[in-house]
Structure formats: C-alpha cells, structure tokens
Structure 1
C-alpha cells in the first residue's frame, strides 16, 4: 500500500502555504470541485480564536467504555509511536463515536503528541486542560470543554484507518490518513489526499483574485464594473 503521507510537494511546504489561507476560500474551491460536504460540524471550533491548524490527518476512533477495559487503555500509548513513524507533522483527528460526556483530549495528549510530531488536534467531542492548551499555543478544535476524565468512560479503539466526523452539510465527513486538515476560527475543512496540492494552488489563485478585487472596490471604482471583471466573489 502506498504511503498516504507522501505528496507531490514536501509536507512542510504544504503546511506553510496552507497556513496563509483561510477556511472559507478552501471551502469555496472544494465546493467548486463538486465537494460541498467537506466542512465539519459548525459547533467544532478552536479553543482560542487565533488558532489555525494545517497538516495531514492521523485518524483515531474511540468508543464509550464504562468498565475501563485494560486491553483498550494499555495499547493506546503505542499510537504515539505510530504517529512518530509517519515522519511528518500530523493532526490528531478523533472520531469519538458521538460521545458527549467526557473530555477526549487534554494536556497529556498534547504533550506526548507534540513530542511525536503532532501539531494540533481535531476532536469530534470534548477537551479539557484548555488553559494549558491556550498557554502553550497548541491548537485544538473541539465541540465542548468539560473537566470530566475519560478513564473508565471512553477508550481508544483503533487508529490509522478511515473515520467519520460529523459534518456541516452531511451527517458524516470521512477522514482518511493523509487527507489534509485545515481549520481556523470559521471551522474545519477536510481536503481529500489526492486533491491536496490542486486545492492549495486553486485557493491561492482565488485569494489573489479576491485581493485584487478588494483593492479595486476600496479605490472607489464602479462596483458593478469590478464585479463584472471578477464574477462571483
């Protein structure tokens, strides 16, 4: 099987260039490709307004676990070695199986994750230790905050395969290893792996066009003429 974390451009370059974009423009390009369902649920937001996330996805699925099965809990530490083995910066993407009771991410996940190459997390559930995450500038996007510990309530099940997170326009957005995750204050979009470079370049072109149009609108030119030059903006 081909390495899902290999792209036509270096990952570090992709990350740097994506970080110059914004989610609305990325979404518009995906929408133009006939992919309107790539935005995650509207209540999935960064824990601090200035946080931006951009990197390949490392998906994880967890399940409610009210007995604290040791075989599930003990194997989770191996996940971080699997993250490190990819050799690229990653976003920890968590499908929490619709659980809404506990924190599925927190300080220790961030500390161990960062040491394993993780540059942020997208959690379709809750997080805690939010003050620590903000103070250290570690970007986490989640649905809610809670102090409730996951131990004996929720456990890691599997990772490294496709998962499904709740969507803005669809019930589920599939996320596979190597798909690109981009998020800012407006929300999170998932770029399919095979389109990562194409979407990047098209979005850069769109933003350049928007900047030109913005300058012309601001200069006092006839707005009808400007709109006709650039079309949909």
Structure 2
C-alpha cells in the first residue's frame, strides 16, 4: 500500500506569479463586489487593518501564522519561528505572511527583522491583525506591511509564535472573524483587505477583470457628456 502526499495549497489552475500580477492590477472594492455578488459578503477585514504606506498593495497566497500572548518568554516558542521561515521557503511560491495575533493589543507582532528573513524565504508582504514596528526600515525597504497599529513595544515576554499553516481567524468588517487558510489569496490596498477563498481564486479574478472592463467603458460614456440618466438606464447598477 502506497501513500501520497497531500496536494499543495499553493497549486492553482493558473500560474501563481500570473495570478499575483493580475490581482495587483485590480482593486479591493471590485474584488469585494464580486465576492458579495457570489454570496461571500464576509471576506473583508476590519477597517483599521491598513497599509503603513497608503501606496502599498499586496496580492498573493496566504502563509498563515497563529500567535498567542506569552508572558513567560518561553524560549521554545520564540525559537519556533526559525522553523516557520523554513516552512515559508519550502512553499516554493511568493507568499503573504498572514498573522492572527489572538487579539493582542500590547506589542508589535511584525518588524524589520521579520521582513528581512521573510523576504529571503519568499515573503512579498505581511498582513498583521495586530501591531508593527521598525517602520522607517520597512519604508526604506519598500516592504509592504498591513497592520492595525504601530508601536515600539517589543513582543518578547508578551507574545510568541505558536503554530502555522492552519486555518486562522482575522477580525472582519461585517463579521467577527474572517477565516484564512493556507493558499487563500490576499488582496489589499489603501481601502482595506479582502480574502479570496483558494477554490475561488481564478473565478473571482476573471469576474473582477470583467467588472473593471465594464466600469472603464461606462466611465468613458459618462465622461463623453452623454445624458447620465441614459447611460445609467443602459447599464443599470454601477
């Protein structure tokens, strides 16, 4: 009897690099509208999860991390992160470091050293349902980080890595929690962040691209000076 490895959560019908570039060319509002129309209204994260630099955009598959408060400074928990970076590299694809910080509000859960090591292991951005620090260095590196807040407070003896590559929960805009699993796609811009379930990544992208083409055409009609009522009646909901 032979056993086979579980399929990678980072295998999609379209090459992942192409998916990243195509998603980066869209915007979060259009993605949300498509998901909402498909019956997935709870895929937007809480409104205070924002890019540190408003110009930053992230798009890519999620590598998920669960962290927990750790007032003991447990060394075994702290050193686990070295193995986590190895797991990131082993995915073989560009990934977004997505962190469930267990609602902690005391410390920074991401910083310049995370970005430095992560970038060497395939990380192209971070999404942190918590805090970040070392902001000047992140800006100089132009390494996109989305977080709830900034703070200088060190995480040691306050918060630690616990587990990764499991389904986690991030605070939602319309729901308490938005589940995120490894391989789900993340897209974030100045308006906020949406989570695209892995099995819908291509379908959602194609619908979003069609929506944007339609919006571009309608925009030209409005800008031409044609009667706006006529344009609206022609296209319906805008």
Q: Is TM-score (shorter-chain normalized) higher than 0.5? A: yes
1:191 aligns with 2:201: no
Matches within 5 A, 1:5-16: 5-16=10-21
When the two structures are superposed, what TM-score results if normalisation uses the length of structure 2?
0.97
Q: How many residues align?
A: 233
Partner of 1:33: 38
1:30-75 alpha-carbon deviations (Å, 9 max, x no partner): 0000100000000000000100000000000000000111111111
Tell me, in whole angstroms, the C-alpha distance in 1 between the residues paired with 2:142 and 2:189. 14
Contact in 2 for aligned 1:47/1:142 (Cα 8 Å): yes
SS of structure 1 residue aligned to 2:138: helix
Is residue 2:119 matched to residue 1:106? no
Counterpart position of 2:207:
202
**Aligned equivalents of 1:195 and 1:231: distance in 2?**
26
> Deviations for 1:171-220, whole angstroms, at most 9, x for unmatched residues?
00000000000000000000000000000000000000000000100110
1:231 Cα shift? 1.6
Structure 2 residue aligned with 1:144: 149
Deviation at 1:227, TM superposition (A): 1.1
Give the unaligned 5+ runs of structure 1. Answer: none
Structure 2: 5+ residue stretches without partners: 1-5
Kept in 2, the 8 Å contact 1:209–1:230? The answer is: no
Q: TM-score, normalised by structure 1?
A: 0.99
Deviations 1:142-183 (A, max 9, x none): 000000000111000000111000000000000000000000
- CA–CA distance in structure 2, aligned partners of residues 152 and 200 of structure 1: 42
Partner secondary structure for residue 27 of structure 1: helix
Q: Aligned partners of 2:88 and 2:233: how far apart in 1?
A: 48
Instruction: Tell me, in whole angstroms, the C-alpha distance in 2 between the residues paired with 1:232 and 1:88.
Output: 38
